[in-house]
Chains A and B, each alone.
Chain A
Amino acid sequence: MKQSNQPDQAVKDGRRVMPFIPPEGVPISFAIASIGSRLGAQILDIIFTTLFLIICALAIVFSGALPSSATMVLIVLLGFLLRVPYYVLSELIWNGRTLGKRITGIRVINADGRRLTPHQVTARNLMKEVEIFTPTALLFSIGSGSPWQDGLTALWLLTVIIVPLANRRRQRIGDIIAGTLVVDNPRSVLLSDLALSAPAAASSQAAFEFLPEHLDIYGKYELQTLEDVLRDTTKNSNTEEIVKIVRTITRRIRYEDAVKPGQEMLFLNEFYRAQREHLESLKLFGKVRENKYHEHTKTEAKKLV
């Protein structure tokens, strides 16, 4: 397993993100699906299969084409087919998605970067019988048996619930055995490039001029925070927050010229462009500035030497 010896995962926007290395060797990341969406998918799947089973059973019974013994066996058989085989087949056909998973927008992937194999799909869904169906069935019988049985059932349920909560990749036992992960379906939206779309990019070249010492203050983190602010369409030059940001930036980078009222957005766009250009060219030469504390960390390192 390649992943296990890496500093495993980050948390981005409150979601767990799993670094993942496809055969091309360029790491990409998937967001681990939340327990809630997985539970939702499971419940939807159970509802669908049960509905289908009921419809089929009614059809068989009311058509009356078969003797009663055969009818019973056929219905029980259907119930059997609509458990594990349904999940295996649908995950095989739709590449790791059952109907419920399609609706909640999650899917199964192979944890080691290859394609999902039929064996993995079968293994993880066979365990579903032990992890979900049997404990749920036992749950209904709780209270009717001896305290011994109840205790055992409770222990079983607890184990099954704790395992996915306790590990970082949210794998249930079947996932661990099969080596699979459940992730959110990635969605991609290409936002416009701020360095291009800035209203002033073409027209006013010299509205604001930034000197290298102005640009040496901030790092990547601040740049991308500014990017988020600029992409927020609810804000314009008159918003108090923007005025405040402009004031903070001019103070911090010791920018002498005053920014005229109404020109704040223009200033921020210009500053974003200049700052990005500066940081990107530094990056090309191997000087990555993560945030505004880069000076600090440099002196720290010197002290250590």
Chain B
Amino acid sequence: MTDLRIDPRMDSGATLYAGAVPNDLLRSARFRLEREAHWRKLDALVSRAEQGGAATLTYEEVRNLASGYRQAMNSLSVARDISLDRALVAYLESLCARAYLVVYAPQESLGGLISRLLLSGIPQAVRRSALPLFIGFLALILGAAAGYRLYGSDPSWFYTFVPPEMADLRTPDASADYLRSTIYGDERHEGDGLAAFAAYLFSHNTGIAVLVFALGVFVSVPSFILTFYNGLILGAFFAMFAQRGLGYDVFAWLSIHGVTELAAISVACAGGARLGLAVLLPGARTRRDALRHQAHDAVKLAILAALMLVAAAFIEGFLRQLVQDPTWRLAIGWGMGVFWVSWLLLGGREGKVKREPVR
């Protein structure tokens, strides 16, 4: 019962040492004496890799690390069988665990990971989740429609839907002139107030998006409700401006960042819906497995939502105050929309086209 000798270079050291080992020792003590030098070598390599990552090792050392790891694993399984020396087994166990963590570290570079995610991972995940995306956008649109209708029948609904810190002074009681001034950022409103409001809106929206995503686990109902509620706010807001004849202006004002931001919330809702659907309709899998499986795409949707929110924040912070012309606002907002759609629909398709001729 000896080690399988995997690496001949390692072996030569062992036989050299073995010559010096007296024969009257315990079997397990001999076993240890013969291999201790290798373990120490592996230990040193692992310690270095732990300190500065495997990148600090040379090619030769990495090769020694891998073979030394397998050899140590072998030693461990032999030692468990023949040795009652607890110190030895404990040492080998921890050495193997450390070597395992170094050998099985993630091997992809961060750059490669991100570019793969952007070029193929996210677009493919989006194309795979048509139904959840439909649910997400449906919730938002239904909410907006309901908010618009309700405001139309009774403007006091506005106070029910819109949180006061979000509405600021823009309530149904405000004058049309005042409302117009909030859209076109007159001197009176330019400055800290508006900036703080933009920042508030961003953190509000990220909060909503995160909740919408994570609460999807509960059969996606909370996601739907939250997105619907967000739609209600939007609808009531829009209706208020539209009644004062500012419909076109507010549409442009909302479009410039809203196309990206509201789409992000819907995408987050779609991610939540994927999780919810996994719980609701697990198919042939168990619910736990289905949840794990669906989580792959759901997480990609969440990342997409986060990216879109960041983009929306930049537009909001820099462009909304700079660009005052409604036509430009519309062009930028919907231009971003076209960009997102074309990225998500066209990205990551090259692979398929290349592979097909081979098949």
* Interface of A toward B, CB cutoff 8 Å: 20, 22-24, 26, 28-30, 68-77, 79-80, 84, 89, 92-93, 95-96, 107, 109, 114-119, 122-123, 126-127, 129-130, 134, 177-179, 185-196, 220, 223-224, 227-228, 231, 273, 276-277, 279-281, 283-284
Contacts and interface: CB of A to CB of B under 8 A. Distances in A.
B213 A76 contact: no
Given A93-B110, A189-B91, A77 B313 contact: yes
A72 B85 contact: no
Interface string B186-217: 00000110111011001100110011011100
Interface stretch (B95-103, B174-182, B242-250, B329-337): B95-103
Contact of B203 (A28, A76, A185, A223): A76
A280 B83 CA distance: 6
Given A76-B313, A93-B110, A134 B211 contact: yes
Contacts of A127: 214
Interface in B13-46: 25-29, 32-33, 36, 39-40, 43
6 A-B pairs with the lowest CB-CB distances in the bound complex, closest first:
A73-B317, A69-B195, A188-B94, A191-B87, A72-B199, A115-B104
A127 B27 CA distance: 52
B252 interface: no
B32 A280 contact: no
Contacts of B88: 190, 193
Contacts of A73: 195, 198-199, 202, 313-314, 316-318
B76 A276 contact: no
Contacts of B353: none
A188 B82 contact: no
Contact of A72 (B105, B198, B295, B309): B198
Given A30-B97, A80-B309, A92-B110, 14 more contacts: A28-B100, A70-B317, A76-B203, A95-B105, A115-B106, A119-B295, A122-B303, A130-B215, A134-B207, A186-B97, A192-B87, A194-B85, A195-B26, A196-B29
A280 B313 contact: no
Contact of B101 (A95, A189, A279): A95
Contacts of B91: 188-191
B299 A122 contact: yes
Contacts of B74: 26
Interface in B122-170: none
Contact of B87 (A77, A134, A185, A231): A231
Contacts of B317: 69-70, 72-74
Q: How large is the interface on B (under 10, 10 to 19, 20 to 34, 35 or more residues)?
A: 35 or more
B73 interface: yes
Nearest to B310: A77
Contact of A188 (B95, B192, B202, B314): B95
Contacts of B214: 126-127, 129-130
A23 B104 CA distance: 10
Nearest to A110: B104
Nearest to A20: B97
B264 interface: no
B285 to A, nearest CB: 13
Contacts of B316: 73
